[in-house]
Chains A and B, each alone.
Chain A
Amino acid sequence: MSTHFEATADHHAADAHGDHKQGFVERWLFSTNHKDIGTLYLIFSFVMVIVGALLSVLIRLELATPGLQFFKPETFNQFTTLHALVMIFGAIMPAFVGLANWMVPLQIGAPDMALPRMNNWSFWILPFAFTLLLSTLFVPGGAPAGGWTMYPPLMLQGGFNVAMAIFAIHMMGISSIMGAINVIATILNMRAPGVDLLKMPIFTWSWLITAFLLIAVMPVLAGAVTMLLTDKFFGTSFFNAAGGGDPVMYQHIFWFFGHPEVYIMILPAFGIVSEIIPTFSRKPLFGYQAMVYALASIAFLSFIVWAHHMFTVGMPLGGELYFMYATMLIAIPTGVKVFNWVSTMWKGSLTFETPMLWALGFVILFTIGGFSGLMLAIVPADFQYQDTYFVVAHFHYVLVTGALFAIIAAVYYWWPKWTGRMYNDTLGKIHFWWSMVFVNLVFFPQHFLGLAGMPRRIPDYNVVFADWNLVSSIGAFGMFLTPFFMFYVLRSSLRHGAPAPARPWEGALGLEWTVPSPAPHHTFTTPPVIRDGDLAHGDFAHKDYD
């Protein structure tokens, strides 16, 4: 028995880059290594970003001028629906799961994720789910066209795509739930001695909380779409008014999933930014405990605000008031986070390497998205904003310049650790400034369009809306170049980048920087002995929890 363990240990100790060569199939298809699976998630997410961005460019192409020049309205609706599903479930969520896979074990001093085989399965479901979803483009009747929210009765008017999309969503849900279970099991059971809960890095904290949100709400989505499925194919009437059902009930169930889902896509981003800003400010994160409690408060509030997506469905006055007040409350913990980031920078010693630029871009632009969110919470004004481009502007500010910017920041931040190579910082900065200009060109004018009265999800519009739409489209075309440029930056880093030291950023703290760069295939096979100064939060020797 013991020899077996020895042998296994030896076998694995030989780095995959070292003498023992794992075959391609063995290494990538059957992988149980958290780093390899993290890489797979990130590559998958990158491919999906390209697919989703391509769809958005087609959308903006049609919207560049009034009149219908390129696509039929039904095709346009398929594009908007798929764009959202691909970006949410294919790009943003897997990117965060990939980052969790890579960084959570490294941050808590664990040898791997708690459930490595399930980890493999969580990932390998996704390519099949998205093949199924995207293949709906080629079936009779086309892809789902009822919006990513899939409201009945409209969704039920679809053809083959209804069953295919729903099955794909079930698979994504299973993948997410398994990924979340794995994260929780890892964080709760596998922390190295000395990494107390309130000494964990904020990114790990944000993922612990996110994982609980995922486990809580993905089954709710699965339930909602299953009811759609039986309504469509098995004669039930959950949402069919003629059969005694209620179409609004679907919206309640969907948004009970949907609002926590929004925070699933932003809490890890908060975690990332809370890692990066202290590093490049060379100063401890301001109010670490407050940051953890703010994350937890936001997560809790996310469960009790869902109907603010539904202010115009005809809720009773009491319902509208309650959801308005509850939604406004979210501004408080979110405000605490923003103030703490600024305070972290205050009296620091700031440098502006690429990851810092992306993190600062995140703070400013996400806050703008937060402002429009607060405005949307005010019901009398929401009666005008609801379902207009103002909403489109709002959620792209929080998801593109929020979630996506944070993911890019994380890649630039941890890339030297993953690959052992530095990248060209100037190119990274060009990537940032180019994105900064064009992303605002895409989305800022959409505020104006919404306020002027342009509804969302329309393929054509009156000529008065043409000017801002053209600006927005130009921004989208410029933005579409950025993933390719990022690919170029990272590929040239892999080929020609200078070797990265274990701690490539002067101010970086945390266990991930105590291992060499690139991180060996297996790290922390024996729990690390934590010394003073290894952890960013909490001094190991003195039980100081700040």
Chain B
Amino acid sequence: MTAGRWTQWDAARSGLARGLVRAGAALAALALPVSAFAQAAGKDFEPDEPVRWQLNMTPGVTHTAQMAYDAHMFALWVCVVIGVLVFGAMFYAMFKFRRSKGAVAAQFSHNTTAEIIWTIVPVIILIVMAWPATTKLISEYDTRDSAMTVKITGYQWLWKYEYLGEDVSFLSRLDRKDDVIRQSRVVPTLASNPHYLRDVDNPLVLPVNTKVRFVVTADDVIHSWWVPALGWKQDAIPGIVNEAWTDIRTPGIYRGQCAELCGKDHGFMPIVVRAVSKEEFSRWLAQQKAKSAPVPTAPATPVAAAPAASAIDTPTPAGG
């Protein structure tokens, strides 16, 4: 049981109705030995991986994800309260006003006061819900003052990441091992493949505590870039450049996948973000620059850099 998993369950616990979570937790307890084993197998810190029998959204690792979670929980609780009242009244009526219990039907057909109340009260509830949603959305649309920009391009069926101004770019596609399993009719298990369909060859590396701006587009059909821990998804649309941003608080591995139907392998274009400290990111970036720059200085080394680098030169291998 890692700290990350506990954090997640704590959040779920504070969020959902307690009884519901208990039921889920009881089920999850059955699953824990397996998932804990899976967790031990992967050495990376993965604070926001989904778990078996998961019931609820998690607060993620960015301010945006926290806001999505808060908006979700607030809306959920409003619905739960209204639901308890409405369904409560309904069930009361069903048990109290049965003909088999001798109920005689009244013949009233309207009550203006009641109708005005249940038109006005929902208006107030909606305003109470819309207000925080509006402030959240305004802050999420503020892409100013970002420290760096990454361009994300969706292809059928992989992602391309470009660190704008840094001359670093690479393709990111489904891990080869998962690709083999999915075509083998084998039923994968958590023990054998904890990250089945959620691993890539080259993860997107980002620094923590840095406002990173994304420009998102696509080259063939519409895709959508989504990592739940970051709290948003943004459609990647050919001919259009969309903006988004993130500011990751916790280092770790965060997984997601394409969220807009993009053809036969739509289910097989995962996204992995590796969030590292600023220092580690600088080291990594320098390393990547060295890898992709060297053609004039070191003509004899392309063998070492071969697969990734050559792929970058032909950015549309599958889609076109």
Contact = CB atoms under 8 A, between A and B. Distances in A.
Interface residues of A, number: 96
A533 interface: no
Interface string A428-453: 00000000000000000000100111
A157 B141 contact: no
Which of A157, A338, A339, A464: most chain B Cβ within 10 A? A464
A463 B34 CA distance: 11
Interface in A147-197: 147, 151, 153-154, 157
B100 A351 contact: yes
A49 to B, nearest CB: 24
A460 B232 CA distance: 22
Contacts of A468: 53
Given A348-B97, A351-B99, A384-B68, A462 B197 contact: yes
Contacts of A360: 90, 94
Given A65-B187, A247-B222, A453-B256, A332 B93 contact: no
A383 B266 CA distance: 19
B8 to A, nearest CB: 10
Contact of B261 (A154, A381, A462, A467): A154
B50 A321 contact: no
Nearest to A67: B187
A467 B35 CA distance: 13
B211 to A, nearest CB: 17
A153 B261 contact: no
A67 B178 CA distance: 10
Contacts of A458: 257, 266-267
A161 B71 CA distance: 42
Given A314-B243, A367-B83, A463-B189, A284 B109 contact: yes
A460 B51 CA distance: 17
A380 B137 contact: yes
Nearest to A278: B109
Contacts of A349: 97-99, 103-105
A546 interface: yes
Interface stretch (A218-226, A285-293, A414-422): A285-293
A68 B259 contact: no
Interface string B293-306: 00000000000000
Given A324-B130, A467-B31, A312 B68 contact: no
A485 interface: no
A375 B235 contact: no
Interface stretch (B119-127, B144-152, B159-167, B282-290): B119-127
B29 interface: no
Interface string B185-225: 11111100111111000000000000000001000111010
Contacts of B37: none
B68 A455 contact: no
A465 B264 CA distance: 20
Contact of B115 (A282, A321, A336, A452): A336
A282 B243 CA distance: 58
Interface in A115-154: 145-147, 151, 153-154
A379 interface: yes
A100 B305 CA distance: 69
B123 A332 contact: yes
Contact of A367 (B78, B86, B123, B228): B86
Interface string A458-483: 11111111111000000000000000
Contacts of B228: 384, 453
B72 A328 contact: no
Contacts of B198: 462
Contact of A384 (B79, B99, B231, B267): B231
Contacts of B190: 463-464
B105 A348 contact: yes
A363 interface: yes
B105 A281 contact: yes
Nearest to B244: A314
B82 to A, nearest CB: 7
A192 B180 CA distance: 69
B35 A460 contact: no
A360 B182 CA distance: 43
Contacts of B14: none
Contact of B238 (A153, A328, A352): A153
A171 B52 CA distance: 45
9 contacts: A287-B109, A289-B110, A342-B93, A378-B75, A386-B233, A451-B57, A452-B51, A455-B259, A463-B190
